[in-house]
Amino acid sequence: MGRRKRRAPRQVRRPRRSSFFRCPRCMHNSVTVEIDRKGKVALIACFNCGLKDTVPVYGGDETEDVYARFYDRYAGE
Ligand SMILES: [Zn+2]
């Protein structure tokens, strides 16, 4: 009976998935998105210029979706 070598599933990190986004105000890559699933809001904060905002979160939203909504709202003002 040959022993099968178990292959450990490797955790592949998605490349180029930065946790920082571009700030629509200061244009720095310094915006963080923190999703609060319980409160169904996301906290947006730029540590460069201090811009802060909250955005509603819908089921299945990823940080990218939340950020896009925030950016659109900010840019559309
Ligand atoms: Zn900023």
How far away, in angstroms, is 12 Cα from ligand 1 center? 31
Confidence of residue 2 (pLDDT cuts 50, 70, 90): low
How many other CB atoms are found less than 10 A from the CB of residue 49? 13
How far away, in angstroms, is 40 Cα from ligand 1 center? 23
Pull the structure tokens for residue 3: 């022993």
How far away, in angstroms, is 22 Cα from ligand 1 center? 8
How far away, in angstroms, is 34 Cα from ligand 1 center? 16
The residue ranking higher by pLDDT, 5 or 48, is: 48
The residue ranking higher by pLDDT, 68 or 8, is: 68
Confidence of residue 1 (pLDDT cuts 50, 70, 90): low
User: What burial class does residue 27 get, using C-beta atoms within 10 Å of its C-beta: 0-12 exposed, 13-18 middle, 19+ buried?
Assistant: exposed
pTM, two decimal places: 0.71
How far away, in angstroms, is 13 Cα from ligand 1 center? 27
The pLDDT score that the predictor gives to residue 23 is: 96
Query: What is the fold, at CATH topology level, of the domain defined by 21-75?
Result: N-terminal domain of TfIIb (2.20.25)
